[in-house]
Amino acid sequence: MSEQHLGLSQLGRDIPAPTDPTTAVLERVPNPHEDTDYLTRFTAPEFTSICPVTGQPDFAHLVIDYVPDRWLVESKSLKLYLTAFRNHGAFHEDCTVGIGRRLVGLLEPRWLRIAGYWYPRGGIPIDVFWQTGAPPSHLWLPDTGVPSYRGRG
């Protein structure tokens, strides 16, 4: 099935990086296995945003896990969306929870969680975790694989 038939506007095209997450286009595609519970994971180890107070860059390692229902997030659009935070001023909590909520609104997944492991600034790491509820009990849910505090070595 072609990108155009799926209604995708970014896949297979040279698209400039969006400059604002509120206007970045997130796209979805049909889940070919919607009758099956399975976990999909996206990891963004170099996520960047800007502190809204100081203007300094903030860096995070994001892990997004979800159990799709009817829709999957199109990965190029997700990469472009996350890139749009590069010059966006927002606190760690706003970035992490906002990304999770935007994905839930687009995908209507059976379950989603996002872990934001923010690198320390001023000696204090801030890790933010959000999920839509309890995961399906029969689902294998691996650890996010990120130490909760990287500052100790």
> Would 5 be classed as within a structural domain?
no
pLDDT score for 121: 81
Residue 24 in any domain: the answer is no
CA distance 124 to 8: 41
Q: Is the pTM of this model over 0.95?
A: no
Q: What is the model's pLDDT at position 9?
A: 65
Does a structural domain hold residue 137? no
Which residues participate in catalysis according to the annotation? 51, 58
Provide the pLDDT confidence category of residue 6 given band limits of 50, 70 and 90.
low
Domain holding 65, by residue range, is 30-131
Is 88 annotated to bind ligand? no
Domain at 40, CATH number: 3.30.1130.10
- Helix or strand or coil: residue 42? strand
User: Does 13 reside within a domain?
Assistant: no
Amino acid 143: pLDDT: 92
pLDDT at 8 over 70: no
Whether 86 has a pLDDT exceeding 90, the answer reads yes
Give the count of domains, the chain.
1
User: Within a domain: residue 78?
Assistant: yes
Is 108 annotated as belonging to a binding site?
no
pLDDT at position 30 is 96
**Would you say 92 is a known binding-site residue?**
yes
Is 54 domain-assigned? yes
Tell me the pLDDT tens digit for each residue of 68-81.
999 999 999 999 99
Cα angle 72, 114, 145 (rounded to 5 degrees) comes to 105
Quick one: average pLDDT of 120-148? 90
Q: Kindly state the average pLDDT of the residues 96-106.
A: 98
> Does residue 112 lie in a domain region?
yes
**How far is it, in rounded angstroms, from Cα 49 to Cα 82?**
9
104 is in an annotated binding site: no
Average pLDDT over every residue of 135-139:
94
Q: Which of 119, 111, 115, 121 is nearest to 99 (CA)?
A: 115
Q: Does a structural domain hold residue 11?
A: no
pLDDT at 114 over 50: yes
Other CB atoms within a 10 A radius of the CB of residue 84 amount to: 20
What is the Cα–Cα distance from 37 to 54, expressed in whole angstroms?
43
- pLDDT given at position 153: 40
User: Which residues, in sequence order, are bridge partners of residue 130?
Assistant: 114
